[in-house]
Amino acid sequence: MANSDPEPQGRVLIIAGSDSGGGAGIQADIKTVSALGGYAMTAVTAVTVQNTLGVTGVHVVPPAVVSAQIEAVMGDLGADVWKLGMLGSADHVRAVMDAWYAHGQGLPVVLDPVMVAKGGASLLAEDAIAVIRDELMPVAAIVTPNAPEAEALTGVAVRDLDGQRRAAEILVGKLGALTALVKGGHLDGDVVRDVLLSKDGMRVFESPRIATRATHGTGCTLASAVAALMAQGAGIEAAVEQGREYLMAAIRNAPGFGRGHQPLGHNWPCKLA
């Protein structure tokens, strides 16, 4: 079982891939959790070779090594929330699930089903999608797919708000996630809508679309923000609301680095101090 104190301590175990450009993956996760007052720990599933222009290489960490990282963290530091990002293969998904049942059962899981990098590179094997859908989804406190990921997981077209709603209903009602946040950033329009479905009902969050190239790592950032806030005691809906606010500000405060899909300004709260 997890070495976890009764009161939330803000500890987030991040299980995901590394982004050498620092804009997404574990690097974005650590920055986000830290900026929001949490404590980030990691189990690296893959080392990617990438920058703002795209991914040029993926070097997989063996599942046994991923499991060993998790065991090391949970056996000493403990965690309040697990945040899952790039898992890569079916073997990695099953290794993480086995580790959760052995060392983290009962802890909330924030599942960001990373499938494709911003530049289009595949980050999830085809056989892993079914394992995530059928085996990992039922242990997720919240799953946060974008529109293409929601389509892959549910089989329904997610091209508008109605599609987002239908996908959320399948993710929760059929696939077993406790809560689903189907994001609309990939859809057209001047307003970005994210659909949250939980036991308390459905809520649609709306934000004006920001005209920017700083969109690298937005999914990782939002999921990690939700995890960090949950780890400090926030409820899921409040964590999503505050996490979206953090994300929008990080986009607006982007440093402008790189010639492609640029990173966010994760440390913007520090500029207010």
* Catalytic annotation, residues: 183, 215, 217-220
The tokens for 71 are 């065991």
How far is Cα 204 from Cα 194, in angstroms, rounded to an integer? 6
The tokens for 130 are 């079914």
Burial status of residue 73 (CB atoms within 10 A of its CB: 0-12, 13-18, 19 or more): buried
DSSP summary character for residue 137:
G
Burial code (b: 16+ CB inside 10 Å, e: under 16) for 208-245 equals eeeeeebbbbbbbbbbbbbbbbbbbebebbebbbbbbe
How far is Cα 218 from Cα 262, in angstroms, rounded to an integer? 10
Locus of tokens 């708000």: 161
How far is Cα 166 from Cα 231, in angstroms, rounded to an integer? 29
How far is Cα 63 from Cα 46, in angstroms, rounded to an integer? 10
How far is Cα 55 from Cα 116, in angstroms, rounded to an integer? 10
Task: Outline where DSSP puts E strands in the chain.
Answer: 11-19, 39-51, 54-60, 81-84, 109-111, 142-143, 180-182, 191-198, 201-208
